[in-house]
A and B are shown apart, each in its own frame.
Chain A
Amino acid sequence: AQSVSQHNHHVILSEAASLELGCNYSYGGTVNLFWYVQYPGQHLQLLLKYFSGDPLVKGIKGFEAEFIKSKFSFNLRKPSVQWSDTAEYFCAVNFMEYGNKLVFGAGTILRVKS
């Protein structure tokens, strides 16, 4: 079965620290990749997405992610986090051979200390 793994469930960082959240998926076929963010009390918002082309994707709010096909990974990065980045982050994958649905990782709760 298709699956998505996020390795860190809780991450605590100080402001200005660098962030990297891991995301791996289980399948070697064609995929579309997404990172969503859920701020406290708010709905899921898209941070960035990868469909094809340059494997380094830049998203909103200074986030970026790199698709490494050989590692089945799509890690999220930000060079310097802010207190306002405190939120839960979800990696989601569309395994294209299995239709239009998204499979979500378990999520990573990020807390940034000011």
Chain B
Amino acid sequence: GAVVSQHPSRVICKSGTSVKIECRSLDFQATTMFWYRQFPKQSLMLMATSNEGSKATYEQGVEKDKFLINHASLTLSTLTVTSAHPEDSSFYICSARDPSGSTEQYFGPGTRLTVT
């Protein structure tokens, strides 16, 4: 099946710094990837939809200047949390849309971000 990886799996950074999270589709090309945030004991909240070669579409309430998304190739999307604050600490999950065009998504293992 389709495999999506994320790197790093865990990251700790200091307040005010930026951190980049990578999402890769390993055995297929993904024109559309998604970035989610999952708070403890809560569901996944979609942050943005990342389309290869174009600007990401952000959900209402998500600061696009704070959460920079780049989808420069068909197998890689990156999420950069800029000027991180402790409240940005969370579990970030990416997914890739089924290459056949269906609405099914394949999920990465997630990245645990802790901002100190």
B108 touches A43 (CB 8 A): yes
**Minimum CB distance partner of B49 in chain A:** A101
Which listed residue, B105, B108, B110, touches A102 by the CB 8 Å rule? B105
| 10 closest cross-chain pairs (CB), A and B | A44-B107, A43-B109, A94-B103, A104-B43, A32-B103, A104-B44, A106-B43, A43-B107, A107-B43, A101-B46
Which chain A residues border B103 with CB–CB below 8 Å? 32, 51, 94, 96, 100, 102
> Is the CB of B34 closer than 8 A to any CB of chain A?
yes
8 contacts between A and B (CB under 8 A): A36-B107, A43-B109, A51-B102, A99-B49, A101-B49, A102-B34, A102-B103, A104-B43
> Is the CB of B97 closer than 8 A to any CB of chain A?
yes
Which chain B residues border A34 with CB–CB below 8 Å? 104
**Minimum CB distance partner of B105 in chain A:** A102
Q: Contacts A90-B43, A106-B43 given: A100-B49 contact, CB under 8 Å?
A: yes
A29–B7 Cα gap in the complex (Å)?
37
